[in-house]
Structure 1
Amino acid sequence: MDKNIFYEGQVLWSQIDANRHLRHSAYADFCAQARSNMLNTLGLSLDQFAQHKIGPILFREELIYKREIMLDEYIQVSTALSKLNTLNGRFSFRHEVLKSSGEVAAIVNVDGAWLDLTTRKLTNLPESWKPIIQNIPKTSDFIEINE
């Protein structure tokens, strides 16, 4: 995966578990922040989602651990779209959590969709956002479904 880095930061004391390494749920938090940062960088802020009464919903989150991350380490999180269904608003993202050495510490895959916050049903994004969505970094094995 190219290094589409959308989060960088230091591992905090509050993110460490009893084994003295990064706790499992902190990986998900870092990746969620990276997705938010990526969308904001491309021009879609959380405020714009709120104005359209749309929010992301996750169906699956898979964490594949490769290397430990310890207290005070600096990490980077890449974000890339691995699958997009243009008919029903479903998506998949792949993240790599990188140690400061560049080693991959974890791969995080998420599957989700866009939720209409009024009807509580899945929805597509507004047509006017399509050019922005097309600019999301994609994995080398990206799949687009539109039939």
Structure 2
Amino acid sequence: MQSNVYEGKVMWSHLDANGHMRHSAYADFASQARIAILEELGLDLGTFQRLKIGPILFREELFYLREVGINEQLRIDIALTKARPDGSRWSIRHDIYRADGAKAAVVHVDGAWMDLKLRKLTGLPEELQVLFNHMTRSEDYTEQPEK
């Protein structure tokens, strides 16, 4: 069963000079969470390499809400907020929580799939579209029109 949750621990390398999690570490956690959820869906790196396609981002937006320190356990909840019916374009929200339940950050990304050989945008093959469509949708999910 696919979940929409990823958990990870803040390490020394995630900290900035002020002793709290550096800005880019939030994006790193969100990225790792996305890859883990895609893998749970059956969209793993090996499949992408075999098909010579991969996810790309057009936009990444972060909202910092609470400080995060070393050795804190984080939970990242992921939800698809919008997508085209064929899954060729999509947006995902990552809500990052500290162990005490406080929401520490929100990361929004807009992305698509790239044909790595042609270096052009592409859609997913039909069998992968079916898998991608099992991603958890947000309460405010909207379907985007086809191109």
TM-score under structure 2 normalisation? 0.92
How far apart are residue 58 of structure 1 and its match? 0.6
Counterpart contact for 2:94–2:106, Cα < 8 Å: yes
Give the 5 Å matches for 1:86-105.
Answer: 86=85, 89-105=88-104
Equivalent position SS for 1:20: coil
Letter in 2 for 1:116: D
2:67 counterpart SS class: coil
Q: Deviations over 1:120-142 (max 9, x none)?
A: 11000001112211110111111
Paired-residue identity, %: 49
Identify the residue that residue 133 of structure 1 maps to in structure 2.
132
**1:6-49: CA deviation from partner (whole Å, max 9, x where unpaired):** x2121101110011100011111111110111011111111101
5 Å matches for 1:43-82? Answer: 43-82=42-81
How far apart, in 1, do the equivalents of 2:27 and 2:50 lie? 26
Taking the aligned partners of 2:87 and 2:139, their CA distance within structure 1 comes to 22
Q: Counterpart amino acid of 2:4?
A: N
Counterpart residue number, 2:32 = 33
For the 8 Å contact 1:115–1:122, the answer to whether it is kept is yes
1:4 corresponding residue in structure 2? 4
Question: What is the root-mean-square deviation of aligned Cα atoms in Å?
Answer: 1.5
What one-letter code is carried by the residue in structure 2 that aligns with 1:34? A
Tell me which residue corresponds to 1:22.
Answer: 21
Moved over 6 A (4+): none
Q: Is the 8 A contact 1:86 1:124 kept in 2?
A: no
Inter-partner Cα distance in structure 2 for 1:49 and 1:115: 10
* Structure 1: segments with no counterpart, 5+ residues: none
Offset at residue 103 of structure 1 (A) = 1.1
Could you tell me which runs of 5 or more consecutive residues in structure 2 were left unpaired when the two chains were aligned.
none
